């Protein structure tokens, strides 16, 4: 998600040579899984309007990675909210 955060909508074509809709694709989205990083967690926390300390963000990241490896897939919004609720009290 760092690339997404840094490029933003203003410099979208710096990351993607063609606009996704031009070639029949959907806009990219930041997902949560085993390869997620701190910026992915921060983006999703911002989306659900939850504030967390840096230690909590790190703990959420570890739990997201663990959940993703356990289920062999991406962590959905419901699972993410459950993890956040366990960590941020």
pLDDT in tens, 35-44: 999 999 999 9
- 37 lies in the same domain as 23: no
User: Is the same domain home to 9 and 22?
Assistant: yes
Q: Whole-structure pTM over 0.85, yes or no?
A: no
Measured CA to CA in angstroms, residue 2 lies from 19, 55, 75, 79, 89 at distances of 19, 19, 18, 22, 26
Q: Which domain holds residue 9?
A: 1-29
- Is the same domain home to 23 and 45? no
pLDDT band at 86 (very low <50, low <70, confident <90, very high): very high
């Amino acid at each position: 998600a760092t690339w997404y955060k840094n490029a933003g909508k203003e410099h979208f074509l710096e990351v993607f040579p063609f606009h996704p809709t031009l070639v029949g694709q959907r806009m990219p989205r930041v997902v949560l899984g085993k390869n997620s990083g701190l910026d992915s967690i921060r983006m999703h926390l911002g989306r659900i309007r939850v504030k967390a300390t840096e230690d909590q963000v790190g703990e959420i990241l570890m739990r997201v990675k663990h959940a993703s490896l356990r289920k062999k897939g991406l962590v959905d919004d419901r699972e993410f909210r459950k993890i956040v609720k366990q960590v941020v009290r």
